[in-house]
Chains A and B, each alone.
Chain A
Amino acid sequence: MENKEALVNYCLRIGDSSLVLAQRLAEWCSNGPMLEEDIALTNISLDLFGQSRMLYNYIAELNGKGETEDSIAFGRNERAFYNVLLSERPNGHFGDTIVRGLLVDAFNFHFYTQLQNSKNETLAAFAEKSLKEVTYHLRHSSEWVVRLGDGTEESKEKVQASLNDLWKYTDDLFEMNEDDIVLVADGIAIDLTAIKPLWLETVTSVVKRATLTLPENGYMHKGSRKAVHSEYLGHLLCDMQYLQRAYPDAKW
Chain B
Amino acid sequence: MTAEENIWKLLEEVPDPEIPVISIIDLGVVRTVTVNNDEVVIEITSTYSGCPATDVFIADIQSKLQENDFRNVEVKMKFSPAWTTDWLTENARIKLREYGIAPPEDELDKSVLFAKQVVVPCPRCSSKNTKLKSQFGSTACKSLYQCNDCHEPFDYFKCLK
Contacts and interface: CB of A to CB of B under 8 A. Distances in A.
A216 interface: no
Interface of A: 36-37, 39-40, 43-51, 53-54, 109, 121-122, 124-126, 128-130, 132-133, 135-136, 138-140, 142-143, 146, 202, 205-206, 209
B78 to A, nearest CB: 9
Given A125-B79, A209-B114, A46 B135 contact: no
Nearest first, the 5 closest Cβ-Cβ pairs linking A and B are A50-B49, A50-B50, A125-B80, A46-B50, A36-B134
A43 B136 contact: yes
Interface stretch (B1-9, B31-39, B119-127, B137-145): B137-145
B112 to A, nearest CB: 6
Given A129-B49, A130-B49, A135-B112, A140 B80 contact: no
Interface in B99-129: 112-115
Given A46-B50, A46-B51, 4 more contacts: A46-B52, A122-B79, A128-B80, A130-B49
A40 B136 contact: yes
Tell me what chain A mostly uses at the interface: helix, strand, loop, or mixed. helix
Contacts of B160: 132
A188 to B, nearest CB: 16
B137 A39 contact: yes
Nearest to B135: A140
Interface residues of B, number: 27
A129 B144 contact: no
A37 to B, nearest CB: 8
B50 A205 contact: no
B88 to A, nearest CB: 15
A29 to B, nearest CB: 13
Contacts of A47: 48-50, 140
Interface of B: 46, 48-52, 79-84, 112-115, 133-138, 140, 144, 158, 160-161
Given A125-B82, A129-B82, A49 B112 contact: no
User: Which of B82, B115, B133 has most A Cβ within 10 Å?
Assistant: B82
B144 A36 contact: yes
Contacts of B51: 46, 50
B114 A142 contact: yes
Nearest to A54: B49
B112 A44 contact: no
Nearest to B138: A39
Given A39-B134, A46-B140, A126-B79, A142 B49 contact: no
Contact of A129 (B79, B112, B135, B138): B79
A125 B113 CA distance: 24
A109 B112 CA distance: 9
